[in-house]
């Protein structure tokens, strides 16, 4: 099956082909590069992956078409659409993020740095807040160009999973 993925701050969607080989094995092709993947569900929201001999534990959380992942201490948010959904978006005229965007904490942690202030103009992909989770610092980036209208994050404070941090319009 073909999917199109777009990480936060990325301009273009990347084609991803996923083919089941049976018994939790897959062939994954990203931008023409092919990987052999063994996947085992460890528990709800966690996968153990063996990708071309390299082992990865991946924690993930789905939120609509967006999937948040934690891999080796790095948090990523990725928009995922299959070909049908991509055609529907194109017909509706949007694959880019529009409107009011609320940036949420991807997991429980501590706000170590707030990089923006209310009223500030930001570019797509610009850092907004740095959150420390599991002893790793993760810079959360703006999903679109716009203006910061609200900042909930305060340096040094603890945040829960999905806590509102910043709003960009």
**For a pLDDT cut of 90, what percent of the chain falls above it?**
45
pLDDT at 89 > cutoff 80: no
pLDDT band at residue 90 under the 50/70/90 scheme: low
Task: Return the residue matching tokens 């023409």.
Answer: 32
Start-end of CATH 3.30.700.30 domains in the chain: 1-80
Would you say 71 and 56 are in contact if contact means Cβ atoms under 8 Å apart? yes
pTM of the model: 0.52
pLDDT band at residue 91 under the 50/70/90 scheme: low
Number of H helices, E strands in the chain: 1, 16
CATH of 1-80, one of 3.30.700.30, 3.20.20.70, 3.90.105.10, 3.30.565.10: 3.30.700.30
pLDDT band at residue 54 under the 50/70/90 scheme: very high
Q: Can you tell me whether residue 86 is helix, strand or coil?
A: helix
pLDDT at 22 > cutoff 60: yes
């Amino acid at each position: 099956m073909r999917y199109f993925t777009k990480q936060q701050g990325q301009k273009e969607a990347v084609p991803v082909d996923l083919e089941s080989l049976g018994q939790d094995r897959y062939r994954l092709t990203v931008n023409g590069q092919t990987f052999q993947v063994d996947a085992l569900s460890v528990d709800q929201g966690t996968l153990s992956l063996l990708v071309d001999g390299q082992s990865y534990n991946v924690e993930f959380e789905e939120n609509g078409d967006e999937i948040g992942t934690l891999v080796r201490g790095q948090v990523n948010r990725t928009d995922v659409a299959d070909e049908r959904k991509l055609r529907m978006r194109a017909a509706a005229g949007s694959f880019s993020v529009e409107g009011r965007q609320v940036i949420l904490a991807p997991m429980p942690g501590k706000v170590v740095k707030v990089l923006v202030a209310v009223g500030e103009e930001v570019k797509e992909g610009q850092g907004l807040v740095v959150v420390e989770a599991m002893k790793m610092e993760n810079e959360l980036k703006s999903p679109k160009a716009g203006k910061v209208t609200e900042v909930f994050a305060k340096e040094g404070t603890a945040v829960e999973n999905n806590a509102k941090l910043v709003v960009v319009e």
